[in-house]
Amino acid sequence: MGWRRAIREKGRGTGKVSGRGNSTRLPFPLLLTTLLLTASPSAAQDPLPFLRFAPPGAPVEEAEPPPCEGELCQRLNRQLEQGCGRTADLPYADTIWLRQNTTPDLPPEAVRAITLALAGNDPALAAELLTPHLAAEEAETRYAAGLYLALIHAEAGASLATPAAQSALGAMDGAAEATGLPPSDLHFLRALAALERGDTRRAADLAASAVAAEPRFFNALALAIRLAIDAAAIDGRRGASLCTAAYLRLMDYASLVMDLDPCAYQGAHLDIYLSRRIATPADSAPYQAVKVYLALIARRPDIATAARDRVATAEGPVCKADVLALLDELIRTAEAGR
């Protein structure tokens, strides 16, 4: 399936994304995460698709390539037009309540336990303070206690496989539907637990579920991109269809992250995070493909072109021609908007 068709077909769906190691340690300064950041249709039918017809003897002129009509190009255009700007939500925050600027309805004793647990930032102390609230009658209390207990484990580098962390995730799972909250935090934390076990496929699926539940959740998006880069490095060698799907998924995630706030510093933060976390080399084709999009948002066409050229010289992927065609379309889209 060509890139334009693939993107158009994706645009007709629900808008949900899907994705696919070592454990991730999340910065956690009192609730707020600041993750420091981090084909063209085949020409086989028409070997000269961008040339105008010219009578014999007349010079042949290259026509301008047709505009990119895919969802990625449309999103890039919108982001470039929007530019930097504060948003009403806080996509970097650790919990759904902070990200959506709301306050959970918790009893005073639960608030006190959570506050003390956060201040101590110690998994053992957090377990002592919050475990009693995992069995609270109110679903939101159970969910909050489990969420903060699991987050403190993740921040401290403690295993999410410990009995306390597993109890926390279980309490969240049992209370999620009753709270009416999107289960994005639960999916994200379960993705970290799967990554800790070395199950990267399961981690990618859970990260995708977190993004689908809450598209403006930076932690989940950053993790999804990290796993998608590593997956594209593998799937990019397994066959054209797998390769195309992997890169399309990767670039979709990159564009969704920049939807949070299309600013240069946003891309810089994501780039720092990825450079510290991905398993693939920094000169790999998937990583450089993401850098093209980030550079275009930063309005640095020179960096975007250099990253695109690194994709061209990188080993693999088997669908390299299609990947380059997509990157060229994105670069032309940005140039046309300047």
List, for residues 262-317, the tens digit of each pLDDT value.
888 888 888 888 888 888 888 899 999 999 999 999 999 999 999 999 999 998 89
| Structural domains for the chain | 1-11+21-41+69-91+216-338 (no CATH), 94-214 (1.25.40)
Strand partners, 90: none
* Cβ–Cβ under 8 Å, residues 36 and 29: no
* Cβ–Cβ under 8 Å, residues 153 and 193: no
Reported pTM: 0.78
For residue 56, pLDDT over 50 is answered with: no
Confidence of residue 65 (pLDDT cuts 50, 70, 90): low
Confidence of residue 45 (pLDDT cuts 50, 70, 90): very low
Three-class SS of the chain: CCHHHHHHHHHCCCCCCCCCCCCCCCCCCCCECCCCCCCCCCCCCCCCCCECCCCCCCCCCECCCCCCCCHHHHHHHHHHHHCCCCCCCCCCECCHHHHCCCCCCCCHHHHHHHHHHHHHCCHHHHHHHHHHHHHCCCHHHHHHHHHHHHHHHHHHCCCCCCHHHHHHHHHHHHHHHHHCCCCHHHHHHHHHHHHHHCCHHHHHHHHHHHHHHCCCCHHHHHHHHHHHHHHHHHHCCCCHHHHHHHHHHHHHHHHHHHHHCCCHHHHHHHHHHHHHHCCCCCCCHHHHHHHHHHHHHCCCHHHHHHHHHHHHHCCCCCCHHHHHHHHHHHHHHHHHHC
Confidence of residue 328 (pLDDT cuts 50, 70, 90): very high
What whole-number percentage of the chain has pLDDT above 90?
64
List, for residues 148-184, the tens digit of each pLDDT value.
999 999 999 999 999 999 999 999 999 999 999 999 9
List, for residues 80-116, the tens digit of each pLDDT value.
988 887 777 889 899 999 999 999 999 999 999 999 9
* Cβ–Cβ under 8 Å, residues 146 and 172: yes
